[in-house]
Structure 1
Amino acid sequence: MQSSFRVLFSVVLAAFLVVLQTEASPTSSNSTLEARQGAGGCSHIRVRKEWRTLSALQKLDYIRAVKCLQTRRAKSRDHPSVVTLWDEFQYSHVVSAHEAHIGQFLPWHRNYLRIYEQTLRESCLYFGPLPYWNQAIDADNAAVPIINSPVFHPILGFGGDGAPGTYTLPTDPHPTDPVLSSRIIPELYKGCVVDGPFANTVLHVGPGYLSTNHCVARGINEDLRPFVTTAAVNVVLAQPTFETFRNELDGTTVFPLPPNSKPHDAGHALIGGHMTNFYTSPGEPLFYLHHGNVDRIWWLWQKADLANRLTDISGPVNVNDLTGPQVNLSTMLNYSSLTPSVPIGDMMNTEAAPLCYIYA
């Protein structure tokens, strides 16, 4: 009897290990690597995937890796508020914010996501796909509230909406020269996330230029749904030049949002809370999924005319000088101590080094 039980146990264990290996192996059908030689110095092409297409194990492992970044000590202490690797990414966005938007917006965030993915793998041993959230899938279904999206699941997602009355924005010590952020929507700071894996997360950077210990705050705003639908994205993809494309995708840097919001700014305000802060929005874990989708939209637009769009770039260098210098392929993208500066030209082709990825 014991021998039969051991045989049965061995068979079940072997089957479980096969399933687990299929979930995790970089050479399996669920792989994050495409089985072909990459172009432009890529040995393989990674495949980024929409959150709801990840397996349960992949979702849990990604969440584990994010929480790892939130506890792993920062490599560089550029500021007293920078304690963890998570803080380090957030602080890089703070100090680069005026350059990381407008003309540099899309290539800057493309490299930011690359470094984020690399850090997840090297520091927290995450080997699954880098996920994105296609908000249009949820926004198109008007009968179902956005809060029902899988990204807000309490176990296999990032937790739900902010709980009213659990968070209050600090008083800005310099109201005439705001350090908190002049680009903020206070009414969308509904409260702290109180369920899911990030319910007890303590952020150290922000809001804005402030340094305070605070929760992950949200305030889901259904009114922004129309601006992130498939129809809204199709308007973006139909643009003939990068200049018109970036303006239709990016939207404004001024809050409150105008009635003609765009998929990028509306996607931030849809989640609300810290996602509405121009400087410190990367404190919200969903920031990286939202910007993965923004990058995917740029990738789709580029794919429609690679011959012309792999070199098409335009816009002001600095958000505070709209009539000043304009970006070009040699413009350097800066990230404080997070990573060395790179030229925009290196960020144009996702299937060439150092990027080496596509979207599913």
Structure 2
Amino acid sequence: MAGGTVLNALVAALCLFSSPSAAVPFFSKRQTLTTETIQAQALANAQKVLAGTLSDGLTRGAGCNKDTVAIRKEFGDMTKEERVDYTRAVKCLLNKPSKLPAGKYPGAKSRYDDFVVVHMNMTPSVHATANFMHWHRYYIWAYETALKTECDYKYYQPYWNWGKYADLPTSPIFNGDEYSMGGNGEYVAHKGTSIGMTTIPAGPGGGCVRTGPFANLTIHLGPLMSTMDPALKIPSNPNPQGYGDNPRCLRRDVNNFFVKNALLATTLASHITSNAAIGKFQDTLQTDTAQRSSIHGSGHFSIWGDPGGDVYVSPAEPVFWLHHGQLDRHWWMWANYLEKEVKTRTSQYEGGTNWQNPNSARGKPTDPQWLDVAAPTGKNGIPSNQMFSTTSGPFCYLYQ
């Protein structure tokens, strides 16, 4: 898709929608649940499901139980050893050769890039569709599996708790020390931008990442829909679909603009408790309103930069996986925190199949989902209903 066509088709980029009628409700005065309470209730109920004392209506094999279930942690709660092993494994994927057909995607230089290409190919069918949450759960799990099976990672996929850090650039994720995910981009003078209904001011970065484990990382794919100031002169990709080899530095503009409103812990708790059906839950999660930007987009644009602000190529930003780990956790909390609703919410599935076509066919729980070469062996094309729970289908993990 040529750059101009992409720009017309994806006006809202990662925010995807701009409907003021889909406003995320504010906290009710009677609603006192916090994200900590929701997390605790969700974990307790998920453990009951594993123990067989609470049913979510799904079947789980004997291989997933309280003794074998993996526990995913918030990045800042991991030990230094765990964090270092995680970034080591990510760099291992960055240094392993691609498994994609030679010459078809010239910018796919590494095994890591395989995951980026898959996301680029799947973007229209896995955003603002019935399988937005489901496909990304599958995708994150496949990435975690690759880290473990191909790069000997000993732990599990971490997440970034959006409401935890008031000053994101100095957080354990972005402070630039050896235990982080690398620092912010160097400061360069640049302008902000407008994404959907949100005007984002320029942050304290904008330049290349020069500190931490991903200092001087080279990005090859994209950009396909850059949201950075054109004055920064980020080179265009030689291929109109963004698949050409376009070596350039990883840029970030890590900022606190969104953590002060859309990503506040109270806002996140309100979103979970105010949406009883998955259709509304997913739509409000991805939709800008006149009051605030979308939660999903706010996470991406808190990192911003290149390729972090590009809806197609964003997985080339290593923190993408922490952001979408939190997105999966947010859904997991919504599905599990009310004991009487666990069975109903776990299997809800609603939406179309192509976000660029509002009249696309409705998604079905039996629809196969695809990861191509990113899929673990024998696990490509499994149906969405195998992704309803983190402890059924191919999955066996909970969030701490």
Cα gap change, 1:230/1:105 in structure 2, threshold over 3 Å: closer, same or farther? same
- Greater Cα shift, 346-355 or 71-80: 71-80
Flag the 1:167–1:334 CA change in 2: closer, same or farther, 3 A: farther
Q: Which runs of 4+ in 1 moved over 3 A?
A: 36-39, 164-168, 183-189
Structure 2 residue runs without a partner (length 5+): 1-46, 53-58, 192-197, 225-240
In the alignment, is residue 262 of structure 1 matched against residue 302 of structure 2? no
Indicate if the aligned counterparts of 2:370 and 2:382 stay in contact, CA closer than 8 A: yes
The equivalences for 1:9-48 within 5 A come to 40-41=60-61, 42-43=63-64, 44-48=68-72
**Bigger RCO (CA 8 Å, 6+ sep):** 2
Tell me the alpha carbon deviations over residues 96-140 of structure 1, each in whole angstroms, 9 at most, x when there is no partner.
00011112210010000110011001110001121101020114x
Looking at secondary structure, tell me which structure has more helix per residue.
1
Larger radius of gyration: 1
- Cα gap change, 1:186 to 1:346, in 2 (>3 Å): farther
Which of 212, 225, 231 is 1:196 aligned to?
A: 212
1:184 and 1:124, CA in 2 relative to 1: closer, same or farther beyond 3 A? farther
Counterpart of 1:227 in structure 2: which amino acid? Answer: A
Judge conservation of contact 1:37–1:45 (CA < 8 Å) in 2.
no
C-alpha separation in 2, matches of 1:106 and 1:294: 8
**Equivalent position of 2:126 in the other structure:** 100
2:105 corresponds to? 79
| Residue of structure 2 in register with 1:206 after alignment | 222
- Asked whether 1:347 is paired with 2:387, we answer yes
**CA distance in structure 2 between the aligned counterparts of 1:184 and 1:204, rounded to whole angstroms:** 28
Cα distance between partner residues in 1 of 2:286 and 2:395: 22
Q: 1:295-314 counterparts in 2 under 5 A?
A: 295-303=328-336, 304=338, 305-314=341-350
The amino acid of 1:102's aligned partner reads A
How much does 1:342 deviate? 1.8
Displacement of 1:204 in angstroms is: 1.3
* Contact 2:200 2:257 survives alignment (8 Å): no
Tell me which residue corresponds to 1:237.
Answer: 272
Q: Find out whether 1:132 has 2:167 as its counterpart.
A: no
AA matched with 2:310: N
Contact between 2:254 and 2:302, CA under 8 Å: does it hold in 1?
yes
- Which amino acid letter does the alignment assign opposite residue 290 of structure 1? H
Residue identity (%): 29
Contact 2:175 2:184 in 1 (8 A): no
What SS does the corresponding residue of 1:275 show, helix, strand or coil?
coil
RMSD value, Cα: 2.5
Deviation per CA, 1:253-291: give whole Å up to 9, x if none. xxxx96521221100011111221110000111000000
Measured after TM superposition, the shift of residue 166 of structure 1 is 9.8
Letter aligned with residue 211 of structure 2: D
Match of 1:49 in 2: 73
Structure 1 residue 329, shift from structure 2 partner: 0.5
Specify the alignment match of 2:232 in structure 1: none
Rounded Cα–Cα distance in structure 2 between residues aligned with 1:102 and 1:315 = 8
Give the Cα separation in 1 of the matches to 2:138 and 2:202: 32
- Residue 91 to residue 110, structure 1, CA distance change in 2 (3 Å): same
Q: Secondary structure at the match of 1:65?
A: helix
Quickly say closer, same or farther: Cα 1:233–1:358, change in 2 above 3 A: same
Q: Which runs of 5+ in 1 are unaligned?
A: 1-33, 140-144, 169-182
Look up the match of 1:152.
Answer: 174
> TM-score with structure 1 length normalisation?
0.78
In structure 1, what is the Cα distance between the partners aligned to 2:281 and 2:99? 36
Secondary structure, counterpart of 1:192 in structure 2: strand
Q: Using a 3 Å threshold, how does the CA distance of structure 1 residues 157 and 323 change in structure 2: closer, same or farther?
A: same
- Equivalent position of 1:228 in the other structure: 263
Deviations 1:4-36 (CA, angstroms, capped at 9, x unpaired): xxxxxxxxxxxxxxxxxxxxxxxxxxxxxx9x8
User: Is the 2:72–2:158 Cα contact (8 Å) retained in structure 1?
Assistant: yes
Instruction: Give distance in 2, aligned partners of 1:119 and 1:265.
Output: 26
The answer to whether the 8 Å contact 1:228/1:262 transfers is: no
Whether the 8 Å CA contact 2:169–2:255 is kept in 1: the answer is no
Q: Which residue of 2 aligns with 1:29?
A: none
Tell me which of 138, 143, 165 is aligned to 1:116.
Answer: 143
* Conserved? CA contact 2:353–2:362, under 8 Å: yes
User: 1:119 and 1:37, CA in 2 relative to 1: closer, same or farther beyond 3 A?
Assistant: farther
Identify which range, 38-47 or 114-123, moves more after superposition.
38-47
AA at the equivalent of 1:191: G
Within 1, Cα distance between the matches of 2:276 and 2:149?
Answer: 39
